[in-house]
Amino acid sequence: MVEAWDADRAGAPDIASAERVRRLRAEIERHNQAYYELDAPTIPDAEYDRLMRELEALELAHPALRSADSPSQRVGGAARSDLPSVRHALPMLSLNNAFDDAEVVAFDRRVRDALVREGVRAPDDGGPVDYCCELKFDGLAINLRYEDGILAGAATRGDGSVGEDVAPNVRTIRSIPLRLHGSTAPVIEVRGEVLMFRADLERLNAQQRARGEHEFANPRNAAAGGLRQLDPRATARRRLRFFAYGVGELVGAAEPDHHAATLDWLGAMGLPVSDLRDVVQGAPGLLGFYRAVQQRRAALPFDIDGVVYKVNARALRERLGFVSRAPRFAIAHKFPPQEAITTLLDIDVQVGRTGALTPVARLAPVVVGGVTVTNATLHNEDEIRRKDLRLGDSVIVRRAGDVIPEVVAAIPERRPAAARAFVMPRQCPVCGSAVERPADEAIARCTGGLYCAAQRKQAVLHFGSRRALDIDGFGERIVDQLVDGGLVRTLADLFRLDAATLAGLERMGEKSAANRVAALAAARRTTLGRFIYGLGIRHVGETTARDLARHFGGLDALLAADEAALLEVPDVGPVVAASIRRFLNEPHNRTVIGQLREAGVTWDEHAPQRAAPLAAGAAGPLPSPDSDPLARQAAGPLAGRSVVITGTLEGMTRDEAKAAIEAAGGKVTGSVSRKTDFVLAGAEAGAKLARAQELGVRIIDADALRALLGAADGAH
């Protein structure tokens, strides 16, 4: 609401006020065009509201400055010239806004006072007024015209009097019925909001990125742009939704006596109406609804920017009437702005647990969504370039619920001359190791994975994981204590831990400490494949690590291999080879490898291993899924064969089957092709089985695999 002004403050405008009004009108009209016509707002809603409130206050203080063409007298923007125009039978007005509890209380008081002036209520009647409370959707207002129950037209709000004809596009919105249920009234105009769900925006932006096209900043922009497409097929691809919230022109039918009943009536005709609504009494009821919705806001699938309060009784609404461009009987209570404008002071770079470098905006403090924000995520270097963010820029910051704040966009017209571009560092800001960013990836990464303090916990957890050295009992809780306490600075420090040191950790007894020391001792003896996997080289998974161990037979040979030699390893391509070489070229990583060898971590580099029998009920256990056939394995029954596993196998897990196949010389791959030799299929096998049948690839079950491996054992 506009601040009240004393009579002696009003009067002839001074030159400064007149100039300020002129500038405000020009700026607001620019923003109106960007928001209503171009669907590309350049400032947050809260900043627009601030400008409009300042203009309204100046015009109230200086009536001589008022004019019919002021943006304060308009609802929205002009209709687009490239779409047919439609004049509304009844104007589509906007609502005045309340931004705090006091303004809501004042609204309720004005309603009660006006009803007394109208003679509807006695001066001593202090009873509360009934209000219908609804959501304030963040989309595009629309008017649907039904004639004899059939959708005959649709138009945007436009300037309130004239909107754009978007009927062909509206027909593509599946939630809008083409025929109303149980109504053949000559004319029913339904008013509501077209919007987009957040999940649909994410899908749309993924498609935009794949095509190299611009992404949409928020669901409202995407919905507005989609509704105003010249090609209805483009609208259909947006997956727009609709919620009804009122009635315009109505001929040959009677609107219910209360607004809550009107919403029920619209729903009964097949129109979508939000279930999140209520009838309350007085200002306390209004504020209670506001707070309840605010708590649920983040969980909603679509964006809202507040709630709407309407006097429930239609008779009272008619007596209250309208003022200027808004009704007296309704008001929008807006949530604290989720967007605000501030200054981008600097960009720091944080190094994550996996080595990913993430730029973080350092901002001049600003309140967004009721919280003071000083930092915001920038995702990656490409995102900074796409948004053209520069140090010193005025930027729009968004914070939705508990989501980490993000910088939405810069405001180029406010850019200072000294603004500077951001450059991603070439060395890790934590450990000084080289930073790499493959050409086909958006994330830059530190290459000092075994050395970098920022990655230390992740490196230790991965090194001790089940498929690496399998160090029992070293989970996140213990690793956090070891690293945070400075007891483990490098992987080799693990093997220097003793029972007394471990017993000093939180919730660690002497027996548990002794068990951990025993687990470390057992883990010293491993396999080359496990050791390579445990190093955490990017793009080197468990299978590739085993392939490297088989091919080179020893660690020193791997350390000396150039990219050409690495490319000779089966299934190692240029990307993987380059990643291995970059990792091994980093002096810090070689130092850690040397420290591990000095700490007694060892393996038999050349001894071949054979598969244990894989037969249900046979003597001896099934091979562990962690078993690691080493390099230069003797030819097995599946040597050189490519196998795909799908479905639930009988009598064995897929990990057990994979280990047995690899121990027998075979290779397990993830997809079926003409080069696949077998598909091992179990129950509920899906697309892979169908693909194998289509290509004529041989299909076997678990019993056939056991028979194959058992026959091979007998041959030996």
DSSP symbol at 569: S
Determine whether 136 is an active site residue: yes
Q: Are 588 and 688 part of one and the same domain?
A: no
- How far apart, in Å, are the Cα atoms of 251 and each of 187, 290, 610? 5, 34, 86
> Do residues 514 and 455 make contact, with C-beta atoms less than 8 angstroms apart?
no
Q: Are 52 and 121 part of one and the same domain?
A: no
Q: Are 62 and 122 part of one and the same domain?
A: no
| Residue 432 forms part of a structural domain | no
Final residue of a domain: which of 570, 588, 606? 606
Number of domains present in the structure of the chain: 5
What was the pLDDT predicted at 629? Answer: 40
Q: At what angle do helices 198-210 and 219-227 cross, to 10 degrees?
A: 80
What was the pLDDT predicted at 586? Answer: 87
Q: Are 554 and 414 part of one and the same domain?
A: no
| Residue 347 forms part of a structural domain | yes
Q: Are 163 and 226 part of one and the same domain?
A: yes
Q: Are 178 and 197 part of one and the same domain?
A: yes
Say whether 398 sits in a helix, a strand or coil: strand
What does the block give as tokens for 265? Answer: 């009536």
Tell me whether residue 606 is exposed, middle or buried, using C-beta atoms within 10 angstroms of its C-beta: 0 to 12, 13 to 18, 19 or more. Answer: exposed
| Residue 303 forms part of a structural domain | yes
Final residue of a domain: which of 73, 105, 128? 73
Residues in a beta bridge with 278:
133
What does the block give as tokens for 342? Answer: 């501030």
The total of other beta-carbon atoms located within 10 Å of residue 437's CB is 16
Q: Are 164 and 273 part of one and the same domain?
A: yes
| Residue 437 forms part of a structural domain | no
Q: Are 668 and 619 part of one and the same domain?
A: yes
Q: Are 568 and 628 part of one and the same domain?
A: no
What does the block give as tokens for 223? Answer: 């919905």
Query: 136, 310, 387, 667: which is the annotated catalytic residue?
Result: 136
CATH number, residue 586: 1.10.150.20
Report the alpha-carbon distance of residue 552 to residue 305 in Å, rounded.
61
| Residue 78 forms part of a structural domain | no
Report the alpha-carbon distance of residue 328 to residue 448 in Å, rounded.
65
Q: Are 474 and 564 part of one and the same domain?
A: yes
| Residue 165 forms part of a structural domain | yes
What was the pLDDT predicted at 684? Answer: 77
Is the alpha carbon torsion for 593, 595, 600, 606 positive or negative?
positive
What was the pLDDT predicted at 123? Answer: 77
What was the pLDDT predicted at 615? Answer: 39
Segments forming the whole domain that contains residue 504: 442-606
Q: Are 283 and 179 part of one and the same domain?
A: yes
* Cα-to-chain-centroid distance, residue 4: 42
3-class SS letters over 28-51? HHHHHHHHHHCCCCCCCHHHHHHH
CATH number, residue 713: 3.40.50.10190
CATH number, residue 254: 3.30.470.30
Amino acid at position 671, single letter: S
Final residue of a domain: which of 304, 334, 364? 334
- Enumerate residue ranges in the chain where pLDDT < 70: 1-13, 33, 35-41, 68-69, 73-82, 324, 400-403, 605-636, 711-716
| Residue 591 forms part of a structural domain | yes
- How far apart, in Å, are the Cα atoms of 516 and each of 259, 526, 653? 69, 17, 28
CATH number, residue 48: 1.10.287.610
Q: Are 356 and 309 part of one and the same domain?
A: no
What was the pLDDT predicted at 51? Answer: 85
Strands (E), 383-463: 390-391, 394-398, 406-410, 420-421, 435-436, 444-446
| Residue 659 forms part of a structural domain | yes
